[in-house]
């Protein structure tokens, strides 16, 4: 009929400290794209955990600034569920630099809510393996709400 059940995927999304005061608008945007909020936690990440989280960037010129920034205030940690969630969330996040996003992909989280390459509103895992690592690191063994199927209402 008009519902399809597809295998879902999980991704790790995180609203960064500078957008916490306007998280409602961003959550509406995410909800409007059809993601399910599977786990969600407003939390502060310690500098040690932030360093572990971003260890792939160790040695890059922006690494320390990034770790300091992410551990400087509350973040909204989210497990999002959707078909092809990793790729779908990266598309909706937009380019790393919000200035680029505003010209190339304006209707994205970074295009709409980001400021610059450091204050770029949100994070998204870049692969299912990265998502699993990041979700474990941030949520430990907190339970998930939904099952791993995802029902899509279609117009056909």
Residues 14-33 contacting ligand RTP, CB under 6 A: none
Residues 100-129 contacting Mg ion, CB under 5 A: 126
C-alpha span between 25 and 50 (Å, rounded): 25
Kindly state the smallest distance separating residue 83's Cβ from Mg ion, in Å: 21
Asked if 123 is part of the footprint of ligand RTP (rule: CB under 6 A), the reply reads: yes
Burial label, 140 (beta-carbon count in 10 A; 0-12, 13-18, 19+): exposed
**Active-site residue flag, 145:** no
C-alpha span between 39 and 118 (Å, rounded): 25
Assess contact for 62 and 118: CB atoms under 8 A.
Answer: yes
Q: Which does 86 bind (CB under 5 to 8 A by kind): Mg ion, ligand RTP, none?
A: none
Assess contact for 9 and 128: CB atoms under 8 A.
Answer: yes
Asked if 72 is part of the footprint of ligand RTP (rule: CB under 6 A), the reply reads: no
Kindly state the smallest distance separating residue 149's Cβ from ligand RTP, in Å: 26
Asked if 120 is part of the footprint of ligand RTP (rule: CB under 6 A), the reply reads: yes
Q: Which does 118 bind (CB under 5 to 8 A by kind): Mg ion, ligand RTP, none?
A: ligand RTP
Assess contact for 69 and 10: CB atoms under 8 A.
Answer: no
Binding site for Mg ion (CB under 5 A): 126
């Amino acid at each position: 009929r008009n519902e399809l059940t597809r295998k879902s995927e999980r991704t790790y999304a995180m609203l960064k400290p500078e957008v916490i005061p306007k998280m409602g608008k961003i959550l509406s945007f995410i909800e409007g794209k059809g993601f399910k909020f599977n786990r969600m936690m407003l939390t502060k990440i310690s500098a040690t955990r932030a360093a572990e989280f971003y260890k792939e960037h160790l040695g890059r010129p922006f690494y320390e600034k990034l770790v300091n920034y992410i551990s400087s205030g509350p973040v909204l940690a989210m497990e999002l569920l959707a078909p092809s969630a990793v790729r779908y969330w990266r598309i909706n996040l937009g380019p790393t630099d919000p200035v680029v996003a505003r010209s190339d992909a304006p209707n994205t989280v970074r295009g709409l809510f980001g400021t610059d390459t450091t204050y770029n509103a949100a994070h998204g895992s870049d692969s299912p393996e990265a998502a699993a690592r990041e979700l474990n690191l941030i949520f430990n063994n907190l339970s998930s709400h939904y099952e791993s199927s995802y029902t899509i209402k279609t117009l056909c």
